[in-house]
Structure 1
Amino acid sequence: MDGGGDRFDVVVVGAGPAGAAAALAARRAGAGVLLLDKATFPRDKPCGDGIAPHALDVVRELGVSGVEEGYAPVPALRLVGPGGRAVARAHARVVYTIPRMVFDRRLVEAAVRAGAVLRRHAVRRVEDRGGYVVVDGEIRAGAVVGADGAYSLVRRALGEPPNGPGHLALAIRGYAEAPEIAAEQRIVTTAAGWPAYAWAFPIGDGRANIGYGEVLRGRPLTREHLLDRLAALLPDLDTAAAAGLRAHHLPLSTRRPVAGRGRLLLAGDAMSLINPFTGEGIFYAVLSGALAGAAALDPGAPARRYRAALRRRLGAHLRHSRAAAALSSQRWIVDAAVRAADRDQRVFDALIELGLGDGRLTPRTLASVAAATLNR
């Protein structure tokens, strides 16, 4: 068939944060948008649920406000290095913990209010015909944005394989009673299985999103291993009673596929946009989705326009985050970074910007970490 059924300017595959942001951006430009997802909303998504202010900035630029309504801001972070040294400081800008069941639903509902058509549909085939794209032989689109996760079908259509060992992490997430940690996020790194860490992010209702993640190095990680490490690193929480324990893969940005080719574009996890330094992906998802949705309307070369927009907006940051990930492969450097952040709020703030937003490795940060290495 030649896509003789429905016709849209933009079809977005996947209605998570990247897909919803793409739909919102395309609608703001006046496009007819079809948003496809194999699930119905609300639906759960294994994730740390941490929402940085940078992600909310992008969402507001898309005309959406109030996605954080009903959730208390989390003003501080406690970071424990692999050697046991800790730093606890206030965030320069507060963060939130919003379950993806809620956050994703609010974004997709905003896209529908903006005029996007939401349809439950599991996409099986995407064909770029040059001047247009055909989805499952029935839907014709001017461009397709693949926001369909770590094992993206659109990514496969571009001939790009999924991430392999060294560039893929595995994490498990659940929800535990945690009334005592309402004021701070907690990240506890560990020398065992390095690089690896556990987290506890308070939601504000007496519970916390808890989890443990580890970079895959070519050997399988069992559910029992993940749960054992989670319990060992968060001994004050009843991790065994946690609800909703689910594992998920995190494709790290150290091995990114092409951002797009022709009329096929990738955003969010489909493009391996997971910060290798922290595992954060929501900011990358909404930003890349917004850029992809805007670029999809280019009548000549949407992928070329999108690649250029990504380079301008994230190129330098992605290079710096990759460098930070390489440096943090050495545990002693991470311990030095924790000591430096404990001594200087500005270093702490710079590391947060690098890990949660679009920050860079500043000369001050590098000098402070070097000094902390020499003066233990």
Structure 2
Amino acid sequence: MRRTAPLILGAGPAGCAAAIALAREGAAPILLDRDADVRDCLCGGFLSWRTVDQLRALGVNPEVLGARRVDRLALLAHGAEAVVPLPSPAWSLSRRALDSALRQRAQALGATLAVDTARGLDGTTVLGQRQRWSGDGLFLATGKHDLRGHPRPRQTNDPALGLRLRLPSTPAREALLSGRIELHLFRGGYAGMVLQEDGSANLCLALRKSVLAACGGHPVQLFKQLTARSPALSERLGVEWRDHPIESIGAVPYGLIAEQTEPGLFHLGDQAAVIPSLAGEGISIALASGEMAARHWLAGGSATAPAYQRALARKARGPMRAAGLARAFAESPLGARAGVAMAQRVPPVLHWLMDASRIHPDAPLAQAPAAP
């Protein structure tokens, strides 16, 4: 007997990966999202070599989309700098370009995109602003945003916050950032900076809530303090950064892994495992979780959700621990200095940490179906 189409809430990388895998097998999923047009999300502009392999297997090629090649990692902390070649080339691409391509791929294979704002859940039924939405199983892929009534557990009284600043292309930034991704480390947080396909510079900060609170809760004051303490960051931001909006997202539960779920409810992406952003593997886990959830659904229907969630948690624990260790070092002045010194003197140690925080292609979590 033919199943009812599954429902996917959230048309980002995780939701689209699930939709692509399901549609390839004729499941005709419904992709439900609040936006008809793709927004440029706060984070996720860096694509590791593992992520690029997964995207290509799903039928999306970042190079064709204009992604910029990244082959070096620069660590900058307290006046010191270390530059280390990446184990394999990575790429930088805006989320608007990436998510648009994934949506198009899913729809081309038979997924349906529907637009509505979710107000909550009734079991596995989505209570939308326009109507109620249901299907044979719900794939929850709302990213870092929690659905009303379904918050993820808060693990600390000093949670992480995310800030993003997008700066226009300039010759100076091109010269400083071409071919590399930078991590600027400071007490209580870090800032990642990379050029995107249009030459603009994407600066994303992950920091403890207490760091922003010490600046009166004002992001502009925080940026003033950071640039005053870091000539390198000041050089990259220039003087015009004040003319551009600072976007934010609150209470990001880094380290969270969803261990359990109820039958019919598949947690994907950041609703399943929130890896610290300095690992650069958030998109990889999102894609892998969507594809893995789809495989379970195709094998046994919506009742397989608990088995999927346990399997995903098991596969994500190792990379999550490695990324958590890296984050702890990055947020500590002593740890940051030690990390930069180690990268300068023993680059293979940093390569080991990069590898440990990534999903290996021979692991079930990262296997994606071959592109047609």
Structure 2 length as normaliser, TM-score? Answer: 0.81
* Contact 1:150/1:272 (8 A) holds in 2: no
* Contact 2:165/2:245 (8 A) holds in 1: yes
Cα–Cα, structure 1 residues 228 and 329, in superposed 2: closer, same or farther, change >3 Å? closer
Cα–Cα, structure 1 residues 28 and 248, in superposed 2: closer, same or farther, change >3 Å? same
Alpha-carbon separation, structure 1, partners of 2:146 and 2:63: 26
Task: Give the aligned residue type for 1:94.
Answer: P
* Contact 2:144/2:252 (8 A) holds in 1: yes
Name whichever of 19-28 and 331-340 sits farther off: 331-340
SS in 1 for 2:255: coil
Alignment map for 1:313-332 (pairs within 5 Å): 313-326=315-328, 328-332=330-334
Alpha-carbon separation, structure 1, partners of 2:75 and 2:246: 23
Match for residue 93 of structure 1 among 82, 85, 88 = 88
What's the counterpart of residue 236 of structure 1?
235
Alpha-carbon separation, structure 2, partners of 1:74 and 1:197: 19
Alpha-carbon separation, structure 1, partners of 2:210 and 2:76: 23
Cα–Cα, structure 1 residues 212 and 70, in superposed 2: closer, same or farther, change >3 Å? same
Deviations 1:319-355 (A, max 9, x none): 3333444455543233222222212332232233345
Cα–Cα, structure 1 residues 230 and 332, in superposed 2: closer, same or farther, change >3 Å? closer
* Contact 2:93/2:197 (8 A) holds in 1: no
Alignment map for 1:231-270 (pairs within 5 Å): 231-232=227-228, 233=230, 234-242=233-241, 243=244, 245-249=246-250, 251-258=252-259, 260-270=261-271
Alignment map for 1:357-368 (pairs within 5 Å): 357-358=358-359
Cα–Cα, structure 1 residues 228 and 165, in superposed 2: closer, same or farther, change >3 Å? farther
**Unaligned stretches of 5+ residues in structure 1:** 1-6, 360-376
Is 1:172–2:176 an aligned residue pair? Answer: no
* Contact 2:20/2:109 (8 A) holds in 1: yes
**Unaligned stretches of 5+ residues in structure 2:** 361-372
What's the counterpart of residue 366 of structure 1?
none
Deviations 1:59-99 (A, max 9, x none): 22334334653223012111113x43321122111122211
What's the counterpart of residue 141 of structure 2?
147
Alpha-carbon separation, structure 1, partners of 2:154 and 2:108: 33
Alpha-carbon separation, structure 2, partners of 1:280 and 1:228: 29
Once the two structures are TM-superposed, the CA of residue 280 in structure 1 deviates from its matched residue by 5.0
Cα–Cα, structure 1 residues 331 and 47, in superposed 2: closer, same or farther, change >3 Å? same
Is 1:333–2:335 an aligned residue pair? Answer: yes
Alpha-carbon separation, structure 2, partners of 1:122 and 1:189: 37
Overall identity of the aligned pairs, in %: 24
Once the two structures are TM-superposed, the CA of residue 167 in structure 1 deviates from its matched residue by 3.9
Alpha-carbon separation, structure 2, partners of 1:17 and 1:170: 19
Once the two structures are TM-superposed, the CA of residue 112 in structure 1 deviates from its matched residue by 0.8
Alpha-carbon separation, structure 1, partners of 2:302 and 2:248: 41
Match for residue 32 of structure 1 among 28, 39, 56 = 28
Give me the CA root mean square deviation: 2.8
Is 1:135–2:165 an aligned residue pair? Answer: no
Alignment map for 1:208-227 (pairs within 5 Å): 208-217=201-210, 220=213, 221-227=217-223
Alignment map for 1:200-215 (pairs within 5 Å): 200-203=193-196, 205-215=198-208
SS in 2 for 1:103: helix
Alpha-carbon separation, structure 1, partners of 2:47 and 2:83: 19
SS in 2 for 1:338: helix
Alpha-carbon separation, structure 1, partners of 2:22 and 2:272: 19
Task: Give the aligned residue type for 1:134.
Answer: T
Alpha-carbon separation, structure 1, partners of 2:110 and 2:155: 34
Alpha-carbon separation, structure 2, partners of 1:28 and 1:169: 37
Cα–Cα, structure 1 residues 165 and 67, in superposed 2: closer, same or farther, change >3 Å? farther
Once the two structures are TM-superposed, the CA of residue 174 in structure 1 deviates from its matched residue by 1.5
Alpha-carbon separation, structure 2, partners of 1:204 and 1:63: 19
Once the two structures are TM-superposed, the CA of residue 283 in structure 1 deviates from its matched residue by 1.8
Once the two structures are TM-superposed, the CA of residue 160 in structure 1 deviates from its matched residue by 4.1
Cα–Cα, structure 1 residues 304 and 48, in superposed 2: closer, same or farther, change >3 Å? closer
* Contact 1:49/1:100 (8 A) holds in 2: yes
Deviations 1:177-208 (A, max 9, x none): 32212122221112xxx221223202254432
* Contact 1:8/1:140 (8 A) holds in 2: no
Task: Give the aligned residue type for 1:92.
Answer: P
* Contact 1:77/1:185 (8 A) holds in 2: yes
Name whichever of 223-232 and 265-274 sits farther off: 223-232
Alignment map for 1:13-28 (pairs within 5 Å): 13-28=9-24
